[in-house]
Structure 1
Amino acid sequence: MTTREALAHVRRRDGVAVIELVGDLNAAAESALDQAWTAATGVRPDAVVLSFENSGYINSTGIALVVGLLARARAHGIPIRAYGLTDHYREIFEITRLADFMAIENDEDSAVQGVGGDGHG
């Protein structure tokens, strides 16, 4: 399997920080995620949205990195939402109970607006 280097781009939309994840989420993604988190939360956002639309493979270390972001968010009272997960990864997030700690939406508009209501904010 070919791995794709992980990149994370941050942009703001309606007071929400959107972190666009590109490539594979594995141990090599840690630095990119840390930098994106710092950029996303430098000016406190209403929420942080993780976009998985352009992400590829997520291994157990990648899941652990997402758990780390959730822990940081919870410590600072910042809601986390996500969108763009494939059915496979959405199921994994549900099985591992990550979905209990973030709202998983179908698209960016829903994630930014928080229409699903995650109950964790």
Structure 2
Amino acid sequence: MNISLDMKDNNQVIDVKVSGEIDAYTAPQLREALSSSAEEKGKTINVDLSDVTYMDSTGLGVFVGLFKTVNSNEGQLYLYGLSDRLRRLFDITGLGDIMNINSGVKGGAE
């Protein structure tokens, strides 16, 4: 169980490429990596999940927390590149209706 993150900070836009599995073991690493950016005012965070092979409810919790923090700081969170399985996970929980999820490309300005 491992995860890798590639983050690029382009002033107000942060692009994050996540690879591997997001579970109880790796979720804290993801949360820690994204939390300081989420707390900055007006940030747009684009998260590419196209190389995520597995995610459990702990991973969902990370994105719920991230979504709340970014929104409370007048920013935007975009998730993209979700596999059908990941998309279903967000949809069954109702998160697909409230979060900015795009199957193909990232959102937000660069």
TM-score by length of 2: 0.79
Paired amino acid for 2:107? A
1:94 pairs with one of 84, 91, 94: 91
Match of 2:17 in 1: 20
More helix by share: 1
Task: Return the match for 1:65 from 50, 62, 66.
Answer: 62
Report the equivalent of 2:4.
7
Shift of 1:26: 0.6
- Structure 2, unaligned stretches of length 5 or more? none
The partner residue of 1:84 within 68, 81, 89 is: 81
Aligned 1:37-76 pairs, distance under 5 A: 37-38=34-35, 40-41=37-38, 44=41, 46-76=43-73
Q: Distance in 2 between matches of 1:42 and 1:64?
A: 17
| CA distance, structure 2, for counterparts of residue 112 and residue 77 of structure 1 | 13
Unmatched tracts of structure 1, length 5 or more: 115-121
Q: 1:46 to 1:61 in 2, by over 3 A?
A: closer
SS of equivalent to 1:111: coil
Structure-2 change in CA distance of 1:64 and 1:43 (3 Å): closer
Q: TM-score, normalised by structure 1?
A: 0.73
Aligned-pair Cα RMSD in Å: 2.4
Identity of aligned residues (%): 22
Number of aligned residues? 110
Letter of the structure 1 residue corresponding to residue 68 of structure 2:
A
- Secondary structure, in 3 states, of the residue corresponding to 2:82? coil
Higher relative contact order (CA 8 A, sep 6+): 2
- Structure 1 counterpart SS, 2:7: strand
Contact 1:17-1:41 at 8 Å conserved across structures: no
Question: Normalized per residue, which structure has more strand?
Answer: 2
How has the CA–CA distance of structure 1 residues 42 and 103 changed in structure 2, closer, same or farther, with 3 Å as cutoff?
closer
